[in-house]
Structure 1
Amino acid sequence: MGLFENIGYALYLYGVYTLIKIVYHIGFHAYVYFFAEPKDLKKLARSDWAAITGATDGIGKAYAFELAKRGFNLILISRTQSRLIDTKEKLLAQYKGIQVETIAFDFKNTKPEDYVNTFTEPLKKVGLLFNNVGAGPQTVDRFHELIGGIGENKEIVDVNMYPAVFLSSIVLKPMEERGGGVIVNNGSMASSFNYPFCTAYGLSKSALEKFTHSIRIENPKIHIQYLAPGFITTKLSKSSTPNFLVRTPEDFVESAVKTIGWAETTKGHYAHQLVFDIMEALPVFVQDLLIKTTLLSKKQEFLDELAKKQKQN
């Protein structure tokens, strides 16, 4: 065979491989999202207590209500005590038989000993940990031109990585002693692609994904999952209008929870999974172009909103 024939054959094999990969991913996740029987989470957790960070808004709050519906007692962790109390009261009003505890904790500018002193005792009973707290840039921009400068980049990395690392280290030993447990680390689809104009955010989520898979391999008896959503209607994503691709926290979480015990990595919702599978099959330069265009459009939306507020003032 000549050079061009070899190249053509190689391209053919690559195309077949890519097609099989896409079909497998779509088929497997379609089964998980639409047909698989949800796992008994209390059985997986070996406890009826769950802890959630960032529990007073967005995905974290929706996760709290979803777990309460499944009979879990909850430890809600967030920065503002008043919002924790409000969320607790709403949960207890809707789900009479559960217990809810709260821990007010600011994940910015904290030291490892702060985690040890605050969480070691309360989290001993926890069988399901949802590491959800996160931070993003005020707006999308080039890495060195963010409004908050180096301090903003540091905050994004600190809040998106360290809570999951430190809290996982606290709960893993008690989970191991009980013979099981569940840890879900809420990342982002951004960890799978180049993510310009939100560089520190993409970096932190990529690191979180590697961390999740590494501790999963170390702890085969514990169900450890990396959750990687696309756009959700939350303050962090700055997406306000739900549609097929942009899901509400409640809709997303109802779907995502069903994947626990089935998928080690999940996009949480079939719409996000479909987008990911299509994006992953594209050449990198096309991925880069699509992501760059999407994020720059968000930058323009922010600038327009900022100009509107300044005009009102």
Structure 2
Amino acid sequence: MDSYLPRPTAQALAAIGLLYVSAKLFSFVRVLLSLFVLPGAPLSKFGRKGTWTVVTGASDGIGKEYATQLAAKGFNIVLVSRTQSKLDTLARELESKHASVQTKTVAMDFAQNRDSDYDMLKRHIADLDISILINNVGLSHDIPVPFVETPEDEIRDIITINCIGTLRITQLIAPGMVQRKRGLILTMASFGGILPTPLLATYSGSKAFLQQWSTALGSELKPHGVHVQLVQSYLVTSAMSKIRRASATIPTPRGFVKAALSKIGRSGGAQGIAYTSTPYWSHGLMHWALATFVGTMNGVVVDQNRSMHEGIRKRALRKKERDAKKAT
């Protein structure tokens, strides 16, 4: 006997298939529009020129680039990082390039989590009209490492810097934004928070924490005129990534920050995730494709991620051995 589906059933399945394909196509069009066509909200929405931006992790890489580009747009900058000499150098550079821009520097080691440091920062910003906060300070593992072999101080520093430091800084600055009924809080995230990353387990967990916290905070502050956006990224050339050569999927800090500042309020590749953006074009396409066709939490993805980082660890350990031999 020939087997066949009843006509109504076949029509229903065809309709479901058409809806599925249409939804994916619509989502892809949204991604393209968000990444390549539609502009983000202007920064003037959150504060006029001459108001202040606080940038943490400001002395190098992405943080330095945020400070540089926001100063070029006329914002005064509070530079927060660990090394005073680097902060002083950057402050002089910004003020020499932009005559109307003022800077303040606050040297603090987020890993120490000292109340005195946060009290010092609070005094520095007490009378400032802060319109933008860039939560950029962060720490990853020196090299990929199994969790059971991770040094205790490395675990503590990653959680203290990435999580506690970000929360404490935001809690200092957000009340003023709420009072003024305007402000922008950008927090740097990572694909490590989207994709569980074996051998970077503590770092990956800290970035996943920031995703949940930032999304919740965005909902809390929206009625007060404060926009919160978690900024997702794949790799960027930086000291943290240990990558020096840029490519289509690994931009320079300059290219990445330019994209991030031009896409405020746009989700980019982070479709369906509230208060989140993956603004750089190749990162956005990667994020959308992973979430749409592969998934980010399944065992296959996690195992492949583990295999990749096991290879990175082996290469890093071999390099350390070679360097140790050269030093003797």
TM-score by length of 1: 0.89
Report the 3-state secondary structure (helix = DSSP H, G, I; strand = E; otherwise coil) of the residue aligned with 1:219. Answer: helix
Q: Is 289-298 or 179-188 further displaced after alignment?
A: 289-298
Q: Mark the structure with the bigger radius of gyration.
A: 2
1:93 to 96, 102, 112: 96
Trace 1:188-199 onto structure 2 (pairs within 5 A): 188-199=190-201
Mapped to 1, the partners of 2:45 and 2:173 lie a distance apart of: 17
What is the aligned partner in structure 2 of residue 174 from structure 1?
Answer: 176
Is 1:273 aligned to residue 284 of structure 2? yes
Sort the Cα spacing of 1:102 and 1:25 in 2 relative to 1 into closer, same or farther, 3 A: farther
Sort the Cα spacing of 1:234 and 1:16 in 2 relative to 1 into closer, same or farther, 3 A: farther
Is 1:222 aligned to residue 234 of structure 2? no
Deviation at 1:252, TM superposition (A): 0.7
8 Å CA contact 2:238, 2:244 repeated in 1: yes
8 Å CA contact 1:189, 1:229 repeated in 2: yes
What is the aligned partner in structure 1 of residue 108 from structure 2?
Answer: 105
What is the aligned partner in structure 2 of residue 287 from structure 1?
Answer: 301
The number of aligned residues is: 304
8 Å CA contact 1:42, 1:48 repeated in 2: no
Deviation at 1:29, TM superposition (A): 3.4
8 Å CA contact 1:189, 1:267 repeated in 2: no
What is the aligned partner in structure 1 of residue 324 from structure 2?
Answer: 310
What is the aligned partner in structure 2 of residue 59 from structure 1?
Answer: 62
Sort the Cα spacing of 1:164 and 1:187 in 2 relative to 1 into closer, same or farther, 3 A: same
**Matched residue type, 1:292:** R
Mapped to 2, the partners of 1:265 and 1:38 lie a distance apart of: 13
Aligned-pair identity (%)? 24
Mapped to 2, the partners of 1:63 and 1:26 lie a distance apart of: 29
Sort the Cα spacing of 1:145 and 1:24 in 2 relative to 1 into closer, same or farther, 3 A: farther
Deviation at 1:26, TM superposition (A): 3.6
Is 1:246 aligned to residue 253 of structure 2? no
Trace 1:23-172 onto structure 2 (pairs within 5 A): 23-45=25-47, 48-111=51-114, 113-114=115-116, 116-123=118-125, 124-146=128-150, 149-172=151-174
Deviation at 1:141, TM superposition (A): 1.6
TM-score by length of 2: 0.85
Sort the Cα spacing of 1:303 and 1:219 in 2 relative to 1 into closer, same or farther, 3 A: same
**Matched residue type, 2:137:** V
Sort the Cα spacing of 1:300 and 1:76 in 2 relative to 1 into closer, same or farther, 3 A: same
What is the aligned partner in structure 1 of residue 240 from structure 2?
Answer: 236
What is the aligned partner in structure 2 of residue 213 from structure 1?
Answer: 215
- Cα RMSD of the aligned pairs, angstroms, is 2.5
